[in-house]
Structure 1
Amino acid sequence: MRLTDFWTRLEEAFGAAYARSIAADHSFGELGNRTINQAIAYGIDTATIWRAVVAAYPDRVPSRLR
């Protein structure tokens, strides 16, 4: 998944402002307790990051974005 596709999906699922907040503030256990921003900087694949987001927010991410 390209980085631009990742951000598009995240913003579509959560809205632009909340998506950026989640990216900066929520630590995901599946990403080594990193935030999205930290995981991207660390070099973790965006598809892996997206799967962690979907697992953490299953009711928030529409099935068409999974």
Structure 2
Amino acid sequence: RIIRDYRENMFNILVATDVAARGLDIADISHVINYDQPNNYDDYTHRIGRTGRGNALGFALTFIE
């Protein structure tokens, strides 16, 4: 239900876990913010791959302690 509401522009911020990093194809995501560092490069690639799809410009920010 939350993903559907996001796709229907009922809100413009989506907070998600790593479950959203793979398999979800949601258009027009402009920013991905990683609150923590992924465990490996592959996980990082999948997380930031939610933005900047196709020829679109996207931004990723990762907090590292």
TM-score, scaled relative to structure 2:
0.24
Whose helix fraction is larger, Structure 1's or Structure 2's? Answer: 1
Whose strand fraction is larger, Structure 1's or Structure 2's? Answer: 2
TM-score, scaled relative to structure 1:
0.24
